[in-house]
Amino acid sequence: MKRIIVNEEINVPAQRRVLAPRRVLLKALTAGAMLTALPMSALAQTYPSRPITIIVPAAPGGILDQAARLVAVELAKVVSQPVVVENKAGASQIIGAQAVARAEPDGYTLLMGSIGPNAAHYGLYPKLPYTPADFAPVVHVISMPNVLLVNPEVPARTVAELVSLAKAKPGALVLGSSGTATSGHLGAELLMARAGISLTHVPYKGSTPALTDLVGGQVQVMVDNLVTAAPQIKAGRVRALAVTGLQRVPGFPEIPTIAESGYPGFDVTVWVGLMAPGKTPPAIIDTLNREVGKILAQPQIKQKVADMGGATIPMSPAEFSAFVRAEIDKWGAVTKAANIKAE
């Protein structure tokens, strides 16, 4: 093994005594650069080697939470590492999204992103603590329609009857939502804009607490994810007036669409998908996309998603990135046209 001799007199010409340190310095800088580059390369090859955390920026129980737990259970089996779901609700899902945007881009902290914090918020909030570049779209997980709900005490059984009631008493009906600029809030705002009605909006820190208050009568109207609302609809605790997609849902064929209830073209479809911090190595993004994609393609998982009233849409990271970009543009235009303001 060669020894490096420091501060020892060496009998070489003066010129060589000047040039030798330069060569040593260049070698040292090159070696340092190589060492700096190694961790990410090695990380991509050995990923994952420790637990992965999926942050859900909403309260437990909603579509984000359910999608995250569905993925976490199956992904843990595939990668032989624990996959933990952590709920970070608050500030219309901004707190959880910000936590991931600021996390190390190593693939061990992921976000279950959605239409709100990863699309509509950019046109709604003038100063967000993150930008689209702070996230790397990984894989689309679920898309599904929402459903327009009322408390059973509300004397409306159709969209038209709800609109008539709201016009007779502007602002008297209280609209609960899982948060500002979530798909439920956006769907309700679009209906208000199209119908020319006014509801008093009360945002919650997730779908579950809002739905609980709808059942209890503290709020009278809500647009919620079908997967969350389905048990309450079946139990008769809430009344479903219409779904927000362009097609009726196979599991609830009796519920019409808002489009066929007098508002042609009305379409609000919620989507959720995994996001990583923006500078996460492409090799890790590809690994996650491939493994989660395989999970979502399993017949039993597809059936579970269908039971939620949703569907999976296979996408590469590039395709999912283009999808998210289109959603940002779409909802930026919608929030501006509907004059939706952050609360």
Span 167-190, pLDDT tens digits: 999 999 999 998 887 889 989 998
* Average pLDDT of the chain to the nearest whole number: 87
Class of domain 145-261 as given by CATH? alpha beta
52-143+271-337 and 145-261 share one CATH topology? yes
Query: How many residues belong to the chain?
Result: 343
Span 40-69, pLDDT tens digits: 445 556 899 999 999 999 989 888 999 999
pLDDT score at 92: 87
Domains of the chain, by residue range, sit at 52-143+271-337, 145-261
As a whole number of angstroms, the distance between CA 222 and CA 225 comes to 10
Q: In angstroms, how far is the first alpha carbon of the chain from the final one?
A: 68
CATH architecture of 52-143+271-337: 3-Layer(aba) Sandwich (3.40)
C-alpha atoms less than 13 angstroms from C-alpha of 332 in its C-beta half-sphere: 12
Span 111-160, pLDDT tens digits: 999 999 999 999 989 899 999 999 999 999 999 999 999 999 999 999 99
The backbone torsions φ and ψ at residue 57, rounded to the nearest 5 degrees and listed phi first, read -80, 30
CB neighbour list of residue 86: distance below 8 Å, 6 or more residues apart? 53, 54, 55, 56
pTM more than 0.85: no
297: closest CA among 318, 283, 311, 276? 311
What is the residue-wise DSSP string for 255-287?
A: SPBSGGGT-TT---EEEEEEEEETT--HHHHHH
As a whole number of angstroms, the distance between CA 96 and CA 56 comes to 7
